[in-house]
Amino acid sequence: MREAQAFKFNQRSINDPDGFWNEQTRLIDWHTPPARVLDPPAPPFREGFVGGETSLRHNAPEGIRKAAPYLEATP
């Protein structure tokens, strides 16, 4: 990602956290989709992906799965 793209990506996460994280949520597979993407208490201390369940191993890129064999034990 180029510097300008990274800056824009970061700014979006700050300026529109709900929209940004809703988009990111759609990029991974979920066993149980989250009921809420961000819990609204007191930013910046918000709970994310409330009620969601996913698999780190399933969603990890192939190279990371090969480099971290302990993920094989993850259900």
pLDDT in tens, 31-55: 999 998 988 777 677 888 899 998 8
**Residues of the domain holding 57:** 3-73
- Number of domain units in the chain: 1
Helix, strand, coil percent content, the chain, rounded in steps of 5 = 50, 15, 35
Q: Which pTM was predicted?
A: 0.68
Residue 33: what pLDDT?
93
